[in-house]
Each structure stands twice: as structure tokens, then as C-alpha cells.
């Protein structure tokens, strides 16, 4: 489906979550207004004081942008961006991002700078291009979705953040605590290519972010650029085995681990093989919630019209090809 591109003069409707991301909530609004004023652009700020109001505010931004031929902008971390994208997808509105989170995987993989000035330049100067979106049942995910151990580590990370603040060191510490506390394997039936498979695994992880896959050394990054999702499962492994996998991932060598099962797909169904339909804890872009099985991961038929620099997937493929050639020549 072709979506008209918003002109560079289109008004901006900026949703920003004051409860998320960095401690610059009072500076963001004035900075956005100043940049828009200098560019001759109209902008309207829609701050969110309570996290429970984020979805309603995002829908209101989409309504106003639809009426005005404008752009909906999400300012915050990956969770905030996910929530606003959920409202924008399929609306016909262009989507902009001002990353204010800890990791900012979605923005980084699409070439949007973490610095506010750089992100504003992209927002005000670039055009919208279609980007891939994942679905977990009826929920959008832009970076990843998961169940099992990875989801639990994200929930623990939020507890640590509330106690100790937001940083990458805190996030890594929470993951270590989750691993050392112990875990159980899930008995699942996986349906994708071919007949259903019965598996036991501590976690199912589905990625829609090439940068995240590249950082841990998984080859499915290229598959994401070509329209697929990246599936990752762990074979049953103990605590020390998980710690070794964590180290491999930090070194960008996860694909070398025998305990990793990784594959690309466009549609994947996960069922509980023992208890039938039941609720499980899942995570989408860092936000933890409960869903009823079966879980269906798939590439959305709709694309998100994201304002970003063009040609990034091709640049990434060329970089991967150059790296592979260099390694083969050693």
C-alpha cells in the first residue's frame, strides 16, 4: 500500500513521556519548539505525565496529525516509541523519533542520532521511508519480542532501574541477577517452516532489529533487512552456561555457541505443549505484559513510514560483505 509522504512543511505532533528515558524532560520541549521555529515548522507538544495515559495521548496525536496532514513524533525510549508506533501504524501518518532512552536500538538501526540536535535535524530535513514492523498477536514490536528468561530479565531490569537509576551498567547487573537466581525451561511446540517441533528452551527471542543482531554476532541481521524476523532459542543450559553465553554475546560471537538455535522466518506460532492455552509473560520492546497462548510472531503487512536517512540497509549489507571478505582472507 502506498502512503503519501508528509511534506517538509507538515506540522509535528510530539508525544513525549516525562516518566521515561533521560533526565532532560524539562529541556526537551523548549529544544523542539526552538528547532521548529528556526525551520519555520509548526509543532504541538503532547506531554505525558502518567505512563497509563501514553496510549491515549498517542491516539490523540494520530487524530490531530491525520486532520492536519502532519507527522506524529515519539520522544522517549524504545517502550515509548513502541506505544506511539502502535497508534500510528496503518493510519497514513508519517512517524518521527527523538530517542531519549538507554539503548535506543530502534533509532540507532535507522540512523537517527541519540543527540537531540542531530535527531531534530533528521526529523526536520529527511523524508519518510517504509520500515518493517513485527507483530506479536495484536501487539507491535519494533526491536524485539520474547518470552521466558529474556522477558524475566527485562522485568528485573525495571525494578533495578527504579532503585538505582537508568544506565547500561544497571541493565547488565539486572541480567546477571536474573541468571544467577535460576530459571526453568519451557515445554513448547513451535510451528513455522515444515511440521510442528517440540522443544524445551529457557527463552524464545524474536528480533526485528538488525543492529541488535549484529552486536551479538548473529547472522540473521541480514535476513531482517530482507523482510524476515530473527528467531533465537536456547537449548536447556545451566547458570554457568548462560553466563558464558552472555560473555559470547558481549563479544559479538553468539553464533559460535552450540547452545544457540537461530533461524529466520516471516510467521511463527508458539504453543504450550503440556497445558494447552494459558497466559504467559512476554515482552515487546522492553515492556512486559501477559498474553494468552498461542503466540503468533509475524511480519506486519503494514510498513511504518519513518522519517530517517535513506539507504541504511544497503550500507549495512555492504559493511557485512566487506567484513566477511576480510575474515575469509585471514
Q: Which three cell numbers stand for residue 27?
A: 529541556
Task: Look up the pTM and report it.
Answer: 0.82
| pLDDT of 121 | 96
Instruction: Check residue 275 and give its pLDDT.
Output: 53
Task: Supply the DSSP string of 253-301, one letter for each residue.
Answer: -GGG-TTEEEEEESEEEEEETTT-S-EEEEEETTEEEEEESSEEEEE-S
Please classify residue 31 by burial: count the beta carbons closer than 10 Å to its beta carbon, then call 0-12 exposed, 13-18 middle and 19+ buried: middle
Distance CA 262, CA 281 (A): 22
Per-residue confidence (pLDDT) for residue 322, from 0 to 100 = 46
What is the residue-level pLDDT of the chain in tens, covering all 330 positions? 344 456 678 999 999 987 655 545 568 999 999 999 999 999 999 999 888 899 999 999 999 999 999 999 999 988 899 999 999 999 999 999 999 987 899 999 999 999 999 999 999 999 999 999 999 998 999 999 999 876 666 665 565 555 555 555 555 555 555 655 666 788 899 998 888 999 999 889 999 999 888 888 888 888 898 999 999 998 887 767 777 777 677 777 777 788 888 899 999 999 987 655 588 889 899 888 899 999 999 999 999 999 999 876 555 555 444 444 444 444
Q: CB within 8 A of 191, min separation 6: which ones?
A: 197, 268, 269, 270, 271
The pLDDT assigned to 327 comes to 43
Predicted pLDDT at 323: 44
Q: What integer pLDDT is reported at residue 251 of this predicted model?
A: 72
Domains, the chain, ranges and CATH? Answer: 12-133+302-318 (3.40.50.10330), 139-299 (2.60.200.40)
Q: Between helices 78-88 and 54-68, what is the axis angle to 10°?
A: 50
pLDDT score for 313: 58
Cα distances (Å, whole numbers) of residue 26 to 17, 29, 60, 270, 278: 11, 7, 22, 43, 43
Amino acid at each position: 500500500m502506498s502512503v503519501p509522504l508528509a511534506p517538509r512543511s507538515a506540522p509535528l505532533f510530539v508525544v513525549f513521556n516525562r516518566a521515561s528515558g533521560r533526565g532532560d524532560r524539562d529541556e526537551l520541549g523548549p529544544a523542539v519548539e526552538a528547532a521548529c521555529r528556526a525551520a519555520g515548522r509548526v509543532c504541538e507538544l503532547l506531554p505525558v505525565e502518567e505512563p497509563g495515559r501514553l496510549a491515549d495521548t498517542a491516539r490523540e496525536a494520530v487524530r490531530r496529525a491525520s486532520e492536519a496532514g502532519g507527522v506524529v513524533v515519539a520522544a522517549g525510549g524504545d517502550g515509548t516509541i513502541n506505544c506511539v508506533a502502535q497508534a500510528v501504524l496503518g493510519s497514513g501518518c508519517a512517524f518521527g523519533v527523538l530517542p531519549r532512552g538507554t539503548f535506543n536500538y530502534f533509532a540507532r538501526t535507522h540512523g537517527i542520532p541519540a543527540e537531540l540536535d542531530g535527531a531534530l535535524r533528521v526529523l526536520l530535513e529527511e523524508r519518510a521511508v517504509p520500515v518493517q514492523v513485527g507483530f506479536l498477536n495484536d501487539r507491535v514490536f519494533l526491536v524485539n519480542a520474547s518470552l521466558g528468561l529474556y522477558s524475566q530479565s527485562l522485568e528485573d531490569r525495571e525494578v533495578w532501574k527504579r532503585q538505582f537509576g537508568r544506565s547500561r551498567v544497571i541493565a547488565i547487573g539486572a541480567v546477571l541477577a536474573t541468571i544467577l537466581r535460576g530459571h526453568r525451561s519451557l515445554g513448547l511446540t513451535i510451528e513455522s517452516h515444515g511440521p510442528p517441533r517440540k522443544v524445551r528452551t529457557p527463552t524464545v527471542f524474536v528480533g526485528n532489529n538488525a543492529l541488535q543482531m549484529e552486536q551479538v554476532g548473529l547472522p540473521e541481521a541480514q535476513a531482517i533487512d530482507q523482510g524476515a524476523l530473527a528467531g533465537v532459542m536456547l537449548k536447556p543450559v545451566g547458570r554457568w552456561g548462560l553466563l558464558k553465553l552472555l560473555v559470547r554475546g558481549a563479544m559479538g560471537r553468539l553464533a559460535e555457541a552450540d547452545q544457540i538455535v537461530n533461524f529466520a522466518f516471516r510467521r511463527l506460532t508458539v504453543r504450550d505443549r503440556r497445558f494447552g492455552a494459558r497466559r504467559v509473560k512476554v515482552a515487546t520492546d522492553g515492556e512486559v505484559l501477559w498474553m494468552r497462548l498461542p503466540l503468533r510472531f509475524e511480519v506486519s503487512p503494514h510498513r511504518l513510514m519513518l522519517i530517517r536517512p535513506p539507504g541504511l540497509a544497503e550500507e549495512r549489507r555492504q559493511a557485512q560483505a566487506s567484513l566477511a571478505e576480510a575474515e575469509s582472507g585471514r
